[in-house]
Chains A and B, each alone.
Chain A
Amino acid sequence: MSRVSDYAFVNAKLRARIGIMHDSTLFDEMIKAPSLTEAVAKLEGSHHANLLEVYRNTGDLQQLELQMLDDEISLYREIEGYLPSLPSSFISVLLEKIEVDNVKNVIRLWYSDVVRQHIISYRSAYLYKKQIVHEIDYDKAVNAVSFPEFVHAFKGTPYEAVLDAFSMERLASEGLFPLEIALDHLWFSHLEKGIEKLGGIDRKIASQIYNTDVDLKNILMLTRYSYSYHLAYEELERVMIPMGYIYKEAEKTGALKSDDPMSVLSAIVRHHYPQISEEIQRIRRTADDLTTVEENNREIVLIEAYLGERRKHEYKKILVGDPFSIGVVLAYFFLCLQEDSTIRAILSGKYYGRSEMKIREGLGL
């Protein structure tokens, strides 16, 4: 089978779908809507109309979000079915990312119940309990009364080993952040292996997309931490995703172990992404007052928005590239997930009664 026959159908199908994706008018109208009910009602006639039905029947935003997750998983499965075995198994790796996030949700819920002693009651109903990639006993996890019992729910999955490295005491003292980072790193290691398994142009495209993507995430991480903390080697090693051009170079040159790792890393960022580096500096320079936490947060939001735009730009570049490659599939997923996260952010903003301006600011609009 040639690349053309492998990708002709999926390419045509996805491009047609990209063509009818929502423009910013829908989001604009949702942001302008004065209440959550009116914001959700804007979904009428869109391809998210099923969410409106869920909301009309339950009035429950979390139920709606669960439906969104279900739709996302179905989307991955559908595309997976259109592809030949190699790219299809790569989509499975991407689906694992959704699973990792779901696992994090289970952990948070369990942590809230057992460690923090909060009643989770109905909240477990918002967990996605069907199989995504691996067989996880979500019921067992959410009902576990001890950490070993909780870990047992993940028996036979790659998450078991990660969870085993932690203990109830460690989680109680350090919180969930280290565990969540460890799960993310696990996924990125799977992603790297998945990319390696792809052939020819697919490997090149996926490698370029995800290495750049990870770089942008690492830049964001460094931007966040560089204000508040002087991170030592161990912390940097822990928070940085061990993938991407920046990390690889930092590892090669031993930057993380140097006396001032942040400045060495900044130099690497400047070298690889001069435009991004310049833009971050510009935002910092033009920020009114860097002394307040609020101003710092605002600045981080601006940088996040800029990096988000860069990611969008990178994916859009792929769309004009080779049509008979995995690129169009990855770009489609990115656009869909971005659309979904925008809807989530708007609805959540409406739920918490945030102003139009705050919601726009959060979305980088």
Chain B
Amino acid sequence: MSMFTRKMRMLTAVVMESDRDSVVKALLEKGVMEFVHIGSLPDEKMSKLSSHSSSVPKAALTDMRVRVETLLKEGGIQLPELDSSIIDSLPALDMDSYKRTLDKLSLSLQSVRDKQREINQDSNALSEIIRYNAEKKDEYLDLRVGENTHGSAEDLLNRLEQIGGIFIFSSRPYISLTLRRDSQRVTEVMDKFSWTESTDSEAQKTAMGIAIKAAQERTESYRTDLEKLSVDVKERIRNVSPELLTIWKTVRLHELCEHVESFFSYTRNTTLFSGWVPSEFSDDITSLIGKVTSGRCIIEWTEADEVPRDEVPVEMSSPRILRPFERMVNNYSTPEYGSINPTPFTAVAYLCMFALMFADLGQGVILLLVGLAGSWMYKKHPEKKDGIISRYLCSLLIFLGPASMVGGLLFGSCFGFELIPPLWFPYDAVVEGEPVQGLIQDIYDILGITIKFGIVIIYAGLILNWINLTRKRRYFELIFDKNGLVGGVMYALGIWFAWGFVASGYKTFPSAPFFAPVLIVCLALIVIKGPLGAVINARNGHRESIGRVIIDTVMDFLVEVLEIFSGLLSNTLSFMRVAGLGIAHASLMSAFYQMADMPGNGIAKIAIMILGNVLVIVLEGLSAGIQSLRLNYYEFFTKYFTGHGVAFEPVGLRSRTRAD
């Protein structure tokens, strides 16, 4: 792991046109290069280069891939990973054949869906009859019990079935149950067959029950058929899945090749390309290209320092274990190239904050168990969609659980009980106002701890910023900026001043011989920042009028001083929320503890404590997680994280980069 973003180098290579395919395949297999368009050549030379032209447009390949993916998903088939074997045996593209295969499958699936639709409609028609009967709305039904005295019963049945309803013609008298709105049509048909109503009162009485039972059996059978057809769709896709997977792999690989080659430029016999590679892979790439071209290549490496910083892609080289925190950083922004990798600092700060706000050994164990169980479950069922407790949350809980446990051990809290002796001080007892020995005796002391913690975090941010600025050689900002040395010194003065005031019991302000001179020097530096900046700009050819410089200086001075004092003060006080949430956590547990004692019943006590713990874990855990994130984003990141970077996106066989 590097403390800074990964060092990058830019490759520019010229290979023979005949070696192009081999180079593309080798680079895809390696998967460590982000291709860029060659843009640094003079226009007259660029005009001699022709850009890539393909036999199958990239958009067509993407459409085909997406279509195959849709069908595979419909069949519940996971997409495969591309591996090097596909490169060695790369089949030629046959888009027409793929289209025919997919069209055939699609047609076959549509025919199943059409069958489903027909069955569903039949089922719907019968369901209406069943529902009317169940809701005692028999007035909408038309029940007839009797038999035909003319024509065949089979013909009569066929004609009636065209109208819709339930007809039992297996034994006499026949039963016809239709909707009343179809009565006229039923009568017309029955009249043609000289239908005579049965006079058997028993048969008339039981007919409705028999018909409804038959209708229910029929709808049940429809439901089974629908389910079978639903499975049949998946089966049909699975039957051709080897073919589909081959198509997908071929199309995907060609799509990736097209994507890579779209960055290439050509002369008559050579191919030029360029791209960024992490510097530790530069030797590998050099030898790889040399090997596949048998040395017929020209390779040139450009160091990242020779290119404008904002054009260099950024990759953070954090250990795999810190991935949840890297995601937090990426959600904020991509750091600038060459700056400090914020991930490890974020991890430490986030976990400390969480541990202070949610300190409980038992609840920490629960969080850890939930994280482990969730991760195990998602690993076992990779196709499972993220629920409320997502994959990401599970991976984070694996860290938050132990952090909370450490907090619990420090403050002697386990499920809200003081079951274990605290390693530091009894948080719950302090919050409840019990007499406590040691340095921490009341809530104000707890607030004091979090303010000190905040000062450490803010200073850590400032120091990281100074390191970043030094690496970027931005010395002007390093000295004069509000997050630079001037800001840091003024913040130190403020802390010293506030400390003295508090130490005197809020009675007197502290005094020291260094205070006034240092403050004056700092203010003077802020004043000269504007004019000095104007002089530097003028040297670089951006001359400004004196009037404007004076106005800017006055305004900048006022704003900068205000920002340093009020901004850093509010940033520091903002950390009191850490104490606030910790106190709320202890108070809530104490409240549940008291509530549990009220019923005077052991089982009720346990139930209330379990419920209380669940509520506290869910609500407080969420609050502590959000507040920790907020403190990182607004109080810590704002000090050193510029976020002007562009993420590094190498193209390889396993990359999820959409080639469009």
Contacts and interface: CB of A to CB of B under 8 A. Distances in A.
Nearest to A109: B181
Contact of B181 (A55, A58, A143): A143
A213 to B, nearest CB: 36
Interface stretch (B226-234, B467-475, B593-601): B226-234
B114 interface: yes
Interface in B131-190: 132, 137, 140, 162-164, 179-185
Contacts of A44: 70, 73
B167 to A, nearest CB: 14
Interface string A15-47: 000000000000001001111111001101000
Contacts of A121: 121, 125, 163-164
A58 B120 contact: yes
A34 B115 contact: no
Given A57-B226, A60-B121, A125-B125, A119 B185 contact: yes
B181 A142 contact: yes
B611 interface: no
Most A C-beta atoms less than 10 A away, residue of B122, B163, B181: B181
A45 B354 CA distance: 33
Nearest to A126: B124
A37 B124 CA distance: 21
Contacts of B125: 121-122, 125
Given A56-B230, A122-B164, A125-B128, A37 B185 contact: no
A38 B179 contact: no
Nearest to B112: A59
B8 to A, nearest CB: 31
Interface in A30-87: 32-38, 41-42, 44, 55-61, 63
Contact of A125 (B114, B127, B230, B233): B127
Interface stretch (B31-39, B101-109, B421-429): B101-109
B106 A122 contact: no
B127 A37 contact: no
A124 interface: yes
B379 interface: no
B235 interface: no
A58 B74 CA distance: 15
B284 interface: no
A63 B233 contact: no
B106 A37 contact: yes
A34 B109 CA distance: 12
Most A C-beta atoms less than 10 A away, residue of B71, B124, B163, B180: B124
B117 interface: yes
Contacts of B107: 35
Contacts of B181: 113-114, 120, 142-145
Contacts of B102: 34
A35 B110 contact: yes
Contacts of B63: 32
Interface in A113-153: 113-114, 119-122, 124-126, 139, 142-145
Contacts of B120: 58-60, 63
B259 interface: no
Given A59-B113, A121-B164, A145-B181, A34 B106 contact: yes
Interface in B626-660: none
Nearest to A55: B113
B244 to A, nearest CB: 13
B469 to A, nearest CB: 35
A351 to B, nearest CB: 10
B332 to A, nearest CB: 18
* Chain A binding surface SS class: helix
B59 to A, nearest CB: 10
A60 B122 CA distance: 12
Contacts of B192: none
A120 B178 CA distance: 12
B106 A38 contact: yes
Nearest to A119: B163
A143 B180 contact: yes
Given A58-B120, A60-B121, A122-B125, A37 B180 contact: no
Contacts of A126: 124
B296 interface: no
Query: Size class of A's contact patch?
Result: 20 to 34
Interface residues of B, number: 44
B113 A37 contact: yes
Interface string B37-75: 000000000000000000000000001001100110110
Contact of A60 (B116, B163, B183): B116
A124 B137 CA distance: 16
A59 B124 contact: no
Given A56-B230, A143-B179, A34 B113 contact: no
Contacts of A56: 230, 233
Interface in B314-332: none
A37 B117 CA distance: 12
Given A59-B120, A122-B121, A34 B103 contact: yes
Contact of B67 (A33, A63, A113): A33
Given A38-B106, A56-B233, A119 B182 contact: yes
Nearest to A145: B181
A59 B114 contact: yes
A87 to B, nearest CB: 30
Interface in A141-171: 142-145
Contacts of B67: 33-34, 38
A59 B116 contact: yes
B511 to A, nearest CB: 47
A145 B182 CA distance: 9
B467 to A, nearest CB: 36
A139 B129 CA distance: 11
Nearest to B223: A57
A88 B65 CA distance: 47
Contacts of B116: 57-60
Contacts of A33: 67, 70
A29 B233 CA distance: 21
A119 B132 CA distance: 18
B164 A59 contact: no
Nearest to B163: A119
Contact of A36 (B110, B121, B122, B140): B110
Contacts of A145: 180-181, 183-184
A59 B180 contact: no
Interface string A185-209: 0000000000000000000000000
Nearest to A54: B120
A122 B163 CA distance: 10
A124 B114 contact: no
B119 to A, nearest CB: 8
Given A122-B164, A139-B137, A37 B128 contact: no
B377 to A, nearest CB: 20
Interface string B466-489: 000000000000000000000000
A121 B74 CA distance: 31
B652 to A, nearest CB: 24
B640 to A, nearest CB: 29
B73 A41 contact: yes
B229 A41 contact: no
Interface in B422-463: none
B103 to A, nearest CB: 7
A139 B128 CA distance: 10
Nearest to A59: B116
Nearest to B141: A143
Given A38-B70, A59-B114, 16 more contacts: A34-B67, A37-B74, A37-B233, A42-B70, A57-B227, A57-B230, A58-B116, A58-B117, A58-B120, A59-B115, A113-B181, A121-B125, A125-B127, A125-B128, A143-B181, A144-B181
Query: What are the 8 A-B residue pairs with the smallest beta carbon separation, nearest first?
Result: A59-B116, A125-B124, A59-B113, A122-B121, A58-B120, A122-B125, A122-B124, A121-B164
15 contacts: A33-B67, A34-B67, A35-B109, A37-B74, A37-B106, A41-B73, A41-B74, A42-B70, A55-B113, A113-B181, A114-B181, A119-B185, A120-B181, A122-B128, A122-B164
